[in-house]
Chains A and B, each alone.
Chain A
Amino acid sequence: MTTDGSVRRSTGDLNGPLGVLDSATGSPTGVVLSVSDAVVAPAGPAVVAKDPAPRLAVEVTALVKRYPKSPVNAVDGLSFAVRRGEIFGLLGPNGAGKTTTVGVLTTRVLPTSGTARVAGLDVVRDAVAVRARLGVVPQRVNLDRSLTTRNNLVFHAAYHGLSRADRTARADELLDRMGLADKAKVSVDQLSGGQSQRLMIARALMHRPEVLFLDEPSTGLDPQARLFVHDRVRALREEGVTVVLTTHDMDEAAKLSDRVGIVDHGRMLTVDTPGRLVRSLPGSATLEVTVRGSDVPAVVLVAALAELPGVERVEQVGAPDPAAPDGAGGPDGDEPGGGSSGGAGGPGPDGGGARLRVYVAAEPAALVGPVVSVLAARDASVSDLSIGVPSLEDVFIHLTGRDLR
């Protein structure tokens, strides 16, 4: 898929209280971002159709879901595709439409319009056949509490038509793999949160699904359990199982997913590998420099640094200089609110020091030397320097805004 698309946040968001800097990297929000290889709804179908080579495990085309009595569409023209054998992360804020989308794909929610196919089969028309090919690990524990741990697996396998011998053998194998062998005979009421989650994963795998849907797989798990789940998910990829996971845990998405799609307001904002999404974020890699002992006003340093090739813009953060005008914003000036509000409570009165944040377009390490020499030439000695690398979270916030849902 090599369709260039520009991804734009909805106008409503652009008008929101922006100009706020991301605390970690200072990446501005509310900027138009150009992303290659993006599937942008509703142009999705064309994008999907262009890619005949890898067979698709999931195809969603112009999907719309409006619940009765709801004024807005929960899913609003969503399109994306998941390749066979891939781990696909569906990211989005609460209420973005992720769970509804998974509901449609798992045949539990009827779409209002559009189509969705899983393993090549239409989820509405061939719902029964689709159910045979997918596994679901839901967000909330829905284990059968009338059954033991092992029987949860055995009966699930029976529902899916596995032979008696296959059922028991596979149940034992999966209990073992999920570290639940010693819990086989206990009631599922006695399982901890992490054990329940693992059992639900085991259950979803019993009938050897082609596509596994994991809805918020590690919400509420302790770090050990989360790592275990992550290992299992990666192991599934080795076995060729396609995994679609929804999450708003950015680290999890970045770690596990081959590609992620970011959804908001029921629409797909962008789809790409985590790495490319992060790299596509303009000027989000930063160098943060603290200088001391300079009589030169910080604005002069800012201006000098901004001249350097590869620097997108420079701003002063936490500057003690009261003369500094509002918004030391860089040349691109696309930041309506100015980013230097942090300066209000600026550090000590010792004067002659400043903290500067340099936004770079390229590899930040390559600019360390030039930055230091520019500052040294102006008698400002660097007392601290750190490199800030953007994360998927920055991309996420960049695309979906900072408003609480």
Chain B
Amino acid sequence: MTVPSTAGPVGSPSPAEPLAPAAPPCSSGRVFLAVLSRDVHVTGKELVAFLAQTLIQPFFFLFIFVKVLSNAGFVTTGYGAIMLPGLLALNAFFGGLQAVAFPLVLDFAWTREIEDRLLAPMPIPLVAVEKMVYGALRGLAASLLMVPIGLLVLPSVSWPVGGLAPALLCTVLGAVLGGTMGLAIGTLVPPRRINVLFAVIFAPLMFTGSVQFPWLALSSERWFQVLCAANPLTYVSEGIRAALVPSVPHLPFGLCVAVSVLAIVALAWVGIRGFMRRALD
């Protein structure tokens, strides 16, 4: 994969000097922020849709599985404390993933709206990085918005203050992970296959991510436990759980952080490669 030159400042060395006085040189950082501000601006315009997309599904998860089923006696009362951290992870991860994957598939296949940004004066990999960062911001917002809703539905839940910072770290990692996976999926899934995205990718990711159960509780279902171990979302869920409800058996916090970071690096590499392949012929 050839990555286009990120070389040099505007007016970098060349045999023929530029024709006209150079346009005011603008740093890639400034361009990056401008492109990011476009995505933030669009999210602001579609705030209601964003909130609905972010909050309705996890709310029903909480309400049905924790409130309804525990009131009916099918689920123990402590389940809410296990489920809520998982939902924070889920929201961070899927918030990031969905913000990137879908628009990207559509963009490259049909609308080509992203072309104007690909023609912006910054290295093209930075456009991909912007997508990931934007996805991560959306995921983080989605997760943080879930906190008051969770505490409202589950008034009995309480978290140790010392666990808040580690939980936030894992949430951020989960959001970045979602953004990078969204980039990878958005550039690897052929547009014709977009309809199977939900069934083949989203649903398995959602139910093998140790969101609704602690990973260690799966010891009786060994094959499923192995499957869940392959889903990076597991480490985000377990990490947040380790920070917020340490009494529940969980994977070591350090392991969760390490695997999350590794998964981010790997998926970012895959995603940027895929992005470059789509962006350049």
Contact = CB atoms under 8 A, between A and B. Distances in A.
Q: Do A and B come from one complex?
A: yes
Interface of A: 55-57, 67, 84, 100, 103, 106-110, 117, 119-122, 124-129, 131-134, 136, 138, 140, 142-147, 151, 155-156, 158-161, 203, 207-208, 210
B8 A129 contact: yes
Interface stretch (B14-22, B133-141, B183-191): B14-22
B222 interface: no
A110 B113 contact: no
A400 to B, nearest CB: 24
Interface stretch (B37-45, B169-177, B194-202): B37-45
Nearest to A127: B4
Interface stretch (B75-83, B117-125, B204-212): B117-125
Given A110-B281, A159-B34, A161-B31, A125 B119 contact: no
A207 B119 CA distance: 12
9 contacts: A108-B118, A120-B14, A126-B7, A128-B28, A128-B121, A159-B34, A159-B38, A161-B24, A161-B31
B16 A160 contact: no
Contact of B281 (A67, A145, A207): A67
Given A124-B5, A129-B121, A158-B37, A84 B19 contact: yes
Given A108-B280, A155-B38, A161-B31, A131 B20 contact: no
Given A108-B279, A132-B26, A161-B34, 4 more contacts: A128-B5, A128-B122, A138-B112, A159-B31
A124 B4 contact: yes
B121 A160 contact: yes
A34 to B, nearest CB: 32
B17 A133 contact: no
Nearest 6 CB-CB pairs, A to B?
A: A161-B26, A120-B16, A159-B120, A158-B34, A132-B121, A142-B112
Contacts, number: 139
Please indicate which of the listed interface residues A128, A132, A140 has the most CB atoms of chain B within 10 Å of its own CB: A128
A203 B13 CA distance: 29
Contact of B120 (A124, A143, A160): A160
A288 to B, nearest CB: 48
B195 to A, nearest CB: 22
A146 B42 contact: yes
B11 interface: yes
A132 B30 CA distance: 13
Given A128-B122, A145-B111, A119 B5 contact: no
| Chain B interface size range | 35 or more
Nearest to A84: B19
Please indicate which of the listed interface residues A106, A120, A129, A138 has the most CB atoms of chain B within 10 Å of its own CB: A129
Given A103-B281, A158-B34, A159-B117, A133 B5 contact: no
B18 A142 contact: no
Contact of B113 (A103, A108, A142): A142
A133 to B, nearest CB: 7
B147 interface: no
B16 A131 contact: no
B12 to A, nearest CB: 6
A203 B23 CA distance: 16
Given A108-B118, A159-B35, A122 B42 contact: no
Contacts of B219: none
A316 to B, nearest CB: 52
A347 B122 CA distance: 67
B112 A140 contact: yes
A248 B23 CA distance: 33
